[in-house]
Amino acid sequence: MLALLAGCYSPVRPDTSLVAAWTTELRGQQPDDAFGAVYARGQNRLVFVGAAHTEAIDSLTFKMINEAYASYDVDAVIIEGSRRSRGPNNDKLLQWVTSQSQREGRQEGGELVASVRGALTEGAVVWGGEPDDTQIRDALAARGVSSEDLLGFYTLRSVPQWLREQRIASPDDPEARTLIDAELAHNRERLDLPPTILPSYATWSEWYERTNGKPFGATFVLEETGPLADGGHGSNRIAAAISGVRDAFLLETIADRLNAGDTLLVVFGGSHLMILRPALDAMLGQPCYVGTELSSAAGRC
C-alpha cells in the first residue's frame, strides 16, 4: 500500500545547497524550548519535532513526541544519534532502548528512548538519521577539511562531556592527557585513519593551539565545540562543517522515506529544524503548521 501511495506522487528532490549555516543570527531566532513543523504531502505528513534535549518526562519535548504519535498514523520515525546504515529497527538499538529505566520523573536516554518506544507501540519503523563517520570524513575532505582537523575536533568535543561527568575537574587536569590519548585512538578507529595522524596528546595540543590560537587548558570554554559558522574559534568552523554534512544527510534521509510513501516523524534537536527549514520549504512547500500543539495541528494538516 505504501509503495502504491508513493507512486501517486512525483518524487521529492532534496537540494542540499539550501541547508542553512548555523550562525549566531539563526541561533537567536530559535525558540527557547521544543517546537515543531508539519508538512503535508498528499495524504502523508512529515512531522518534525525540534527537540530540546532532555530526560524530563513532563517536558514539552516529550509532550510533542507523544502528541505526534497520538495525532498521526506514523509509518516511520527518524532519530538523532543512530546511523542510518544500521538499517530499520536495529536490534542493538531496540535492546538498548528496552533497557533504559524511568525514575523520579526522568527517562534514561531522553527523547531518543521516548521516540523509539512510541514507534514500537505505534508499529512504526525506526531509522537512524546519522551518516557513518567515514561518510563524514569523505564529505569533509571534498570540502577541504583535513583528516587532522576532523580527528582533532572529534576529540575536543569530548571535553565538555568529561567535565559534566566529573571525569576531569578542569581542562588542565592531568587526567585530561590520558583521556585525550585514549580518545584519539578511539576516533582514529571510527574514522579509519592511520596512527600517524595526531599520534599523541602532544601533537593534539599543538593542533589545538594552531586551530584556536591559544594553549589548551584553563582558558577552554564550552562554546569552542559549537557548530557556529561565524563563531570566534577555529574549532567552531570545523564543527559547522560537520553539522552541514549531517544535516544534508538528514535531508536526503527524509526525502527517501517520503518517496517511499511514509507518514514520517523526525525527532532531532531544534537547531536541525532551523537549519533545514529553507531546504524543507523548497522541497515540500511551506509547512501547514509551525508551533508546539501537534494535537491541534492534526486538525489543520
DSSP string, 7-44: HTSPPP---GGGPPP--HHHHHHS-SS-EEEEEEETTE
The predicted-structure confidence for 163-222, as pLDDT tens digits, reads as follows 999 999 999 999 999 999 999 999 999 999 999 999 999 999 999 999 999 999 999 999
pLDDT of residue 169: 95
Q: Which residues contact 147 (CB under 8 A, 6 or more apart)?
A: 137, 141, 191, 193, 197
Q: What is the mean pLDDT of residues 254-262?
A: 97
pTM of the entire structure?
0.92
What is the Cα Rg of the chain in Å? 20
> In the predicted model, is pLDDT for residue 269 greater than 70?
yes
CA distance 103 to 155: 32
User: Which residue in this structure is represented by grid cell 532534496?
Assistant: 14
Phi, psi (degrees; rounded to nearest 5) at 50: -85, 95
Question: 117-143 pLDDT, tens per residue?
Answer: 999 999 999 999 999 999 999 999 999
Q: Distance (Å, rounded) from C-alpha 12 to C-alpha 259?
A: 7
Q: What are phi and psi of 90, to 5 degrees?
A: -55, 125
Phi and psi at residue 75, in whole multiples of 5°? Answer: -90, -35
